[in-house]
Amino acid sequence: MARLDTSGLHVLGVRHHGPGSARAVRAALADIKPDAVLIEGPPEADALIPLVGELEPPVALLVHLADPPRGDAAASAAGWAFWPFAAFSPEWEALRYAAEHGVPVRFCDLPAAHTLAERMARAGGTGEPDGAEPADGPEADTEEGATEDPESVGRDRLRLDPLGVLAEAAGYDDAERWWDDVVEQRGEGEPSPFPAIADAMAAVREESGPEDERGARREAYMRQVLRATLKQGHERVAVVCGAWHAPALRGVADFPAAADTALLKGLPKAKVSATWVPWTHGRLASDSGYGAGVTAPGWYHHLYTAPDLPVHRWLTDAARLLREEGHHVSSSHVIEGVRLAESLAVLRGRPLAGLDEVSEALTAVLCEGEPARAALVHRTMAVGERMGSVPPTTPMVPLQRDVIAAQKRLRIKAEPFDRDLDLDLRKEGHRERSVLLHRLRMLDVAWGDPRDTPAGKGTFRESWRVRWEPELDVALIEASRWGTTVAGAASARAAERAAEADLPGLTALTEQCLLADLADALPGVLTLLTDRAATDGDVTHLMGALPPLARSARYGDVRGTDAAHLRAVAEQILRRVCVGLPPAVHGLDDDAAARFVTHIDHTHSAATLLGGEALAEWEAALAALARRETLPGRISGRLNRMLSDAGHIDAEELRRRLGLAMSQGTEPAAAAAWLEGFLQGSGLVLVHDDRMLGLIDSWLLGLPEERFSAVLPLLRRTFGAFDASERREIGEAAGRLGGTRAAVRTRVPVDVERAAPALATALAILTDGRKRAS
Amino acid sequence: MTTSSAPSLSTDAAQALRPHAEQTYATELEALAKADDRRRPPGWRLSPWAVTQYLLGATLDDGTEITPKYIGARRVVEVAVATLATDRALLLIGVPGTAKTWLSEHLTAAVSGDSTLLVQGTAGTSEDAVRYGWNYARLLAEGPSREALVPSPVMTAMARGSIGRIEELTRMPSDVQDGLITVLSEKALPVPELGIEVQAQRGFNIIATANDRDRGVNDLSSALRRRFNTVVLPVPDSAEDEVRIVTQRVEQLGRSLELPEVPAGLDEIRRVVTVFRELRSGVTEDNGTKVKSPTGTLSTAEAISVLTSGIALAAHFGDGVLRPADVAAGIQGAVVQDRVSDGVVWREYLETVVRGREGWGEFYRACREVGA
C-alpha cells in the first residue's frame, strides 16, 4: 500500500477550553487555510454543525440514547454525555472558522454510540452510583490524565499528569500555570506553538508506554477518519484535538490501517441522538466535577474577549462590582492593584499577570486585606456565570419545545442562577407558572424548588426558587417518553406513578395532581385511591392519607378545581377510619399509643377542615371510643381532652372521668399515661379548674413512695413540655389548693399608660375603626 | 529610636542580647547580594527575587544555605515584596504571634540592610515619633536650626532612602496616624519652622504592623488605609509547618540566650504544637473530639516561649533533657489566661483528650501535678 501523503496535514494539539489555544488555533487556521477541518468530538453531531452560526456559547453537544432506559436510575444516569464548548474553546474557534469560510468540518472522535453502549453495560453490571461522571465531554485526556476511568488511579504519574511532568521540567510547580504561561497567555502574532506541543507530547508519550484500551480505540478511530479525509483528496487538513493525541495523529502514516480496523471491530453499539443544548460557565468550572473543566471560566472568557490590557480591565470590573456592593473603591485602588499584580508577575518571572496575581492584588489593594470580601468578588468573576443559547431550529424533542413555548408565554426565563419567585395564585399568570413548575416536578425536571411560604401563610401564595441547569435538558429528553406536551406527559407520569404507589403515596400524588392541575390524571388517581382505601386494612394508612386529601379539598377554592369529587373521597376515607378506629386501638403498648395519638391529631384537624357531617361522625366515633374502659391511657386522656375542647363533654363529666382515671384503683403508670395524653400541648386547663387540679393533687399525694418514683419520669415528661410561665401558673395554682394558705393570687399592677395604646388598638379592631375615626 | 547622640550607650553587636536581623544573617545577605544578578529597584540592596529567597530560604549556586525566615504561604511573602517594589506602603495584619514583626524586620533588613528605624505605636506615641522633635536646650540657646532638629525614624528613613517600620499602627492615636498621610502620598516631610522639607530618597517605604484583635482601638482612617497594601498573615496551615517554625525559633533563641545545650526533643515540640493547635481550633487533630477554646490566642510565638522556658528549666534544674514536666507549667500558664473559665477548659482538655492519648501519660501526670 502506498504511504499516505501527510504533507498537507496539520495537527493542532490544544488544551480544551484554553483561550491561548483558541487564539493560536485561529491564527493557525488563517495561516493554513485548510480545505477540511477535523475536530475531536462525537461524529453523531456532524449533522448539527450547520447550526454553529446561530449558537451562542457556552453550549454543549448532548448525545443521548435515542430510547431512554426505563426505571433503572444508574442506567439512565449513564445514558448521555456532554461535549461543552465555550467562546474560548479552541474547538469552538475551529467550528466557527469552518462555518465562516464554508470549509467542510467533521467530528472525528470515537462515536458516542460505542462509548454509551459500553457505559450502559458497565452501569447495568455494577450499578454505578448516580452522577458518578455527570459530564464526560471532550474527555479529560490531556489535563487530568484519565479521570474518566476509576481503574486508572493506579497508573503512573506520567500518564496521569503528562503536563505536570512537562511543567516540572520547565521549573513550574503547577501544570496549569505552566500551560497558561507558555500557551494560554500568548498575545497575537506569536509563532504557532503546535509543532512544539506535539513534540513535547511525543516525548512524554514515549515514556508513558502504550495507551490504554479506550484511548487506543479513540485514536484508532481518529486516524481512520483522518485517512478517509486525506483519501478524499483534501490537500490541507487541520485537526483540532487534545494535545495528548497530537503525536498519534501527526504520524498517521506510520500506523498500519489494518491494525486500527482490527482494534475497532466488534464494539458494542447503542442507538443515540445528538443535539445542542445551552451550557453554563458554572458547569465548565472544574469544581463542578467536570473532568476537563477549567478553574476559572470567567477569567478565560475575559482573556479571550479582552485581548488588550486584560489585568487593567479585570480589576476595573472588580472595582465596579465592589462599588455595586456598596464598598468604596477608587480609581487609585485600581491603579495600585494593577501595579501590584504586574510587579508580582515580574517577581514570579511570569510573562503576564495571571489569575493568581490578579486575585492577590484584589485582596491586598482593592479589598484592603479583607479575604472574605475578596473571595466573594473573585468567585463571582472567576466563574463569570453566563448561559448560552441555541436557535429554535435545533433538533429538540417536542417536550422541550413545549417547555420553551411555555417559558416564553409565561415570561419566565431559564437562568443559570438562583432566583426566588413569589406567586400569587389568584392571578392567572402566576397560577399558570405555578402549574408549569409543578408539572415539571412531576416529570422529575427539578427546575423549581418549592419553598416554605413566608409569613402571611395563605393557600393562595407560593414561593419557589428556580434555577436552570443544563442537566434539565437531559431530564426533559428522558421525560419525553411520557408525552409530547408538558401537560400530557405529566398526566401520563402521574398515572404511572399511581399504579405503583401505596395509599399514602397515592394521596400525596393526589395533592400533586391538584397542584399541577392535571385534571386528566386526577380521576384515575382518585379511583385508585378509593380502591386502595377499601382494601387497605391498616387504619393508620387511611389516617395518614386523609390530611393531604383534606388540604386538597381546600385548594379547590383558589385553584378552581372541582373539589366536590375530592371531598367525597375524603369523607369516604374518614368514614372508614371511624369504623376501623375501635379495633385498631386495642392492646397498643405505650410507644404505639403515642404514635397513634399523633395520627388521631392529624385526622382530627383534617376532619375539622372537612367540617359538616363528616366532622360530626368523627366526633361521635371519638366520643364512643372515649367511653371504652380498655383504651390505653395515653389515647383515652387525649380523646377526653379533644372532646372537652370541642365542647362535647362538660366540665362535670370531665372531672368525673379524670377522677376515675386518677383513682387509687388504677395502675399508677396507666394514670400517668392518661394524664400525659390529657395534658398534651397545654396545661392551662389545670390553672382554670381548681377542682381538677385537686383531683390530680390528691392522687399524687395518695401514691406510695415507690409508686411515686415509678411514675415520676412520666409526669416530668408531661409537665416539662409546658413553657416556664405555664408551669409557674400551675405551681401557683397548686399552692392555693386546700386553702391552707388563702393566698390571693398576686396581681401585677397594670401600667395604664403602657396598656393604653394596646387597648385602643384592640378597641379599634373590635369596632371596625369607627370609634377611632369619631 | 536611633539618634546620633549618646555614643556611650551603643554597644558591641556581638554582645547584644538580641542582634538585629541584618547582624544575625549578615553572611547570608552578603552571599545573596553577590549571587543576585537581577535588577534591583532604586535604593534596594537586593532584587525583589533575592528578597523572597532570603525570606523563604534557598540554596545558592555557590553552596550558601539560606535559612527560611518565614515558614508559610509563599504568596504572602511575594505580595509583600511586590508591594514594596511598587513603592506602596505595606500593612501586615494578623492575630498576635503570627510573625508580623518578624516578617517586617527581615523584609527591612533584606531591602535596606537596616531594620532599626522603628517606631513603636502606643497610646502615648506623639507626633514627634513619626515627624520630628526638637532638642529643646539647643532650640532655646540657638533658636530653630537644623542642629536643634531631632528627626524621627520615619524622617531618617526618608532621608536615607531606606525602610521605616511602624509597630502596632492601630495603637497610635488617630491624629498621629494621620501624620503619615503626607509622608506616604507626597513622600516629603515639610519642616515649616526651618522653611525646608525633607524629600524621601528612592528606596524609602513604610512597613506597618497591626493587630487583628485590636481592631476598633484606633481604626485607620480610610485616607491612610488607602495608602497601604494590606497583607493578612494567617496562622500556620499545617501542624508540620508549625512544628518547623517552633523548632527553628527555639533553637535560635536558645543560642542567643546561651542556654546550656538541651536537645529540644521533637516529640515535646510536636506535643506543645498539637496542644496549641487543638485548643485554638476547638477540635482534635484527628477531627474526632470537640474541645473548648480558651480566651487567649495561643499563637505560635507563645508556643515558642513555652518551649524556651522549658529548655531553661531542663538545663538549670532538670537532667538536661526536655521532659514533659518542664513544659507543663509553661503550657498551663499560656492556656489559662482567665483563671476561672480557662481553668475549666484546660482541665476538661486534660481529662478528655490528653488522658487517653497513647504516650502522653507522663505529660498528663505532669500537668495534673502543676494544676494541683
**For chain B, how many structural domains are there in total?**
2
β partners of residue A239: A11, A38
Contacts of B232 in chain A (CB under 8 A): 363, 369, 371
Residues near A38 by beta carbon (within 8 Å), at least 6 away in sequence:
A105, A106, A107, A108, A222, A225, A226, A229, A237, A238, A239, A240, A241
Of the candidates B283, B345, B333, the one whose C-alpha atom is nearest the C-alpha of residue B303 is: B333
In a shared domain, residues B227 and B254: no
DSSP A387: B
User: Rounded to two decimals, what is the model's pTM?
Assistant: 0.66
Contacts of A344 in chain B (CB under 8 A): 78-79, 82
Q: What residue has cell string 506553538?
A: A193
Give the pLDDT score at B205. Answer: 92
Contacts of A366 in chain B (CB under 8 A): none
- As a whole number of angstroms, the distance between CA A495 and CA A591 comes to 37
CA angle, residues B220, B222, B226, in degrees to nearest 5 = 100
Strands of A559-684, DSSP E: none
User: Does A343 contact B85 at a Cβ distance shorter than 8 Å?
Assistant: yes
> Which of B232, B256, B291 represents a domain boundary (last residue)?
B232
User: Does A340 contact B79 at a Cβ distance shorter than 8 Å?
Assistant: yes
- pLDDT tens-place string over residues A722-770: 888 888 888 888 777 765 544 455 556 778 888 888 888 888 888 765 5
Cell of A685: 386547663
A70 or B208, greater pLDDT: B208
Using pLDDT thresholds of 50, 70 and 90, give the confidence band for residue B204. very high
Q: What are the sequence ranges of the domains in chain A?
A: 9-42+58-288, 308-383, 398-482
- As a whole number of angstroms, the distance between CA B40 and CA B36 comes to 9
Q: How far is residue A521 from each of residues A62, A224, A425, A442, measured CA to CA in Å?
A: 32, 52, 21, 12
Contacts of A373 in chain B (CB under 8 A): none
Of the candidates A486, A548, A481, A480, the one whose C-alpha atom is nearest the C-alpha of residue A514 is: A548
Contacts of B75 in chain A (CB under 8 A): 356, 360
Among chain B, residues having any CB pair with chain A shorter than 8 Å are 48-49, 52, 75, 78-79, 81-83, 85-86, 88, 91, 93, 222, 225-226, 228-232
Residue type at A48 in one-letter notation = L
Domain residues for B337?
Answer: 239-371
A629 or B137, greater pLDDT: B137
Low-confidence ranges of chain A (pLDDT < 70): 1-3, 68-78, 123-164, 171, 173-177, 184-190, 286-293, 307, 453-459, 537, 554-563, 663-665, 738-748, 768-774
In a shared domain, residues B163 and B269: no
Tell me, yes or no, whether B364 lies in a domain: yes
- Candidates A368, A370, A373, A378: best to mutate against B (most CBs of B within 10 A) is A368
CA distance A145 to chain B (A): 28
Question: What's phi and psi for A76, nearest 5 deg?
Answer: -75, -25
User: Does B88 contact A339 at a Cβ distance shorter than 8 Å?
Assistant: yes
CA distance B269 to chain A (A): 30
Burial of A70 (0-12, 13-18, 19+ CB in 10 A): exposed
Contacts of B225 in chain A (CB under 8 A): 368
Expressed in angstroms, the distance from the first to the final Cα of chain A is 110
CB A274 within 8 A of CB A48: yes
Of the candidates B208, B203, B250, B212, the one whose C-alpha atom is nearest the C-alpha of residue B227 is: B208
CATH number of residue B189's parent domain: 3.40.50.300
User: Does B232 contact A333 at a Cβ distance shorter than 8 Å?
Assistant: no
In a shared domain, residues B156 and B171: yes
- pLDDT tens-place string over residues A515-539: 888 877 888 888 888 887 777 767 8
User: Does B48 contact A347 at a Cβ distance shorter than 8 Å?
Assistant: yes
Cell of A143: 489535563
Q: What residue has cell string 540566650?
A: B257
Of A339, A364, A368, the CB nearest to B79: A364
In a shared domain, residues B115 and B163: yes
User: Does A343 contact B86 at a Cβ distance shorter than 8 Å?
Assistant: yes
Tell me, yes or no, whether B34 lies in a domain: yes
Contacts of B81 in chain A (CB under 8 A): 347
> Which of B184, B205, B232 represents a domain boundary (last residue)?
B232
CB atoms closer than 10 angstroms to residue A437: 25
Contacts of B226 in chain A (CB under 8 A): 330, 332-333, 368
- Candidates B222, B229, B232, B233: best to mutate against A (most CBs of A within 10 A) is B229
User: Does A369 contact B231 at a Cβ distance shorter than 8 Å?
Assistant: yes
- As a whole number of angstroms, the distance between CA A292 and CA B242 comes to 36
User: Does B82 contact A340 at a Cβ distance shorter than 8 Å?
Assistant: yes
ipTM confidence score: 0.74
The chain B residue lying nearest A330, using CA atoms, is B226
Contacts of A343 in chain B (CB under 8 A): 48, 82, 85-86
Average pLDDT rounded to a whole number, residues B141-162: 91
Asked which of A199-203, B55-59, B251-255 is least confident by mean pLDDT, the reply is B251-255
In a shared domain, residues B224 and B246: no
Contacts of A365 in chain B (CB under 8 A): 88, 229-230
Contacts of A364 in chain B (CB under 8 A): 79, 83, 229-231
Of A339, A344, A369, the CB nearest to B230: A369
User: Does B79 contact A360 at a Cβ distance shorter than 8 Å?
Assistant: yes
User: Does B88 contact A330 at a Cβ distance shorter than 8 Å?
Assistant: no
In a shared domain, residues B107 and B173: yes
User: Does B82 contact A343 at a Cβ distance shorter than 8 Å?
Assistant: yes
User: Does B226 contact A332 at a Cβ distance shorter than 8 Å?
Assistant: yes
Tell me, yes or no, whether B1 lies in a domain: no
Contacts of B86 in chain A (CB under 8 A): 336, 339-340, 343
Give the pLDDT score at B108. Answer: 94
- Candidates A173, A327, A365: best to mutate against B (most CBs of B within 10 A) is A365
In a shared domain, residues B80 and B146: yes
Q: Is the peptide bond before B190 cis (omega within 30 degrees of 0)?
A: no
In a shared domain, residues B202 and B245: no
- As a whole number of angstroms, the distance between CA A618 and CA A622 comes to 6
- As a whole number of angstroms, the distance between CA B210 and CA B90 comes to 11
Contacts of A340 in chain B (CB under 8 A): 79, 82-83, 86, 88, 229
CA distance A445 to chain B (A): 38
Asked which of A46-55, A739-748, B151-160, B220-229 is least confident by mean pLDDT, the reply is A739-748
In a shared domain, residues B207 and B125: yes
Tell me, yes or no, whether B61 lies in a domain: yes
In a shared domain, residues B290 and B211: no
CA distance A354 to chain B (A): 13
Contacts of A328 in chain B (CB under 8 A): 222
Tell me, yes or no, whether B2 lies in a domain: no
Of B78, B93, B226, the CB nearest to A333: B226
User: Does A368 contact B49 at a Cβ distance shorter than 8 Å?
Assistant: no
- As a whole number of angstroms, the distance between CA A670 and CA A633 comes to 5
Using pLDDT thresholds of 50, 70 and 90, give the confidence band for residue B150. very high
- As a whole number of angstroms, the distance between CA A112 and CA A424 comes to 46
Give the pLDDT score at A137. Answer: 40
Report the greatest alpha carbon distance in chain A: 121
Q: Which string of DSSP letters, residue by residue, matches B127-190?
A: GGGTSEEE-HHHHHHH-S-GGGEEE-HHHHHHHHT-EEEEESGGGS-HHHHHHHHHHHHH-EEE
- pLDDT tens-place string over residues B164-185: 999 988 888 888 888 898 899 8
CA distance A122 to chain B (A): 37
Contacts of B82 in chain A (CB under 8 A): 340, 343-344, 346-347
Report the percent of chain B where pLDDT is more than 90.
18
The chain A residue lying nearest B93, using CA atoms, is A369
Of A339, A346, A369, the CB nearest to B232: A369
For the cut 70, the answer to whether the pLDDT of residue B290 exceeds it is yes
CA distance A177 to chain B (A): 15
